[in-house]
Amino acid sequence: MLLGSANAADVHSLAKSALGATTLQGGEVTKKMAELMMGKAADVVQTLTDCSQNYNVAMDKIKFATAALEAKVFNDVKVGITTAMTEAQSCEDGFKGASPMTADNTKFSQLCSISLSIAELAKN
């Protein structure tokens, strides 16, 4: 079945699943940050702490987007997801030089982007 021929309920379910995968990835990123803090220099610990705060906001925004999807308030879905993406980028930008979080931040942002694209299809 082509996505274009899927009914709205199917696409809505797919968007919800994509947001669920994004939530799981955000949780994994948060766990990794806690592990990375062990035995690191104070400046790295501070940056990881800042990242953790970024991801707390990001995860709140994904929850907000999920609730908005359920309510079919698609503008709020977009706002929630794009804000979560901005928070992940802020985490990445906080590192001076190479970031130990690049792969994780990229994957989270990609899942956000996929979720946003599917949610856009669900509103039609």
pLDDT at 18: 95
pLDDT at 8: 59
3-state secondary structure of 19: helix
CB 120 within 8 A of CB 17: no
CB 108 within 8 A of CB 26: yes
CB 28 within 8 A of CB 104: yes
Q: What CATH number does the domain containing 32 carry?
A: 1.20.140.40
pLDDT at 123: 82
Q: How many domains does the chain have?
A: 1
The pTM (predicted TM-score) of the whole model is: 0.90
How many Cβ atoms are within 10 Å of 84's Cβ, its own excluded? Answer: 31
pLDDT at 33: 94
**Residue with the two structure tokens 């669900």:** 122
Enclosing domain of residue 104: 3-122
At 6-57, the pLDDT tens digits run 565 689 899 999 999 999 999 999 999 999 999 888 988 999 999 999 999 9
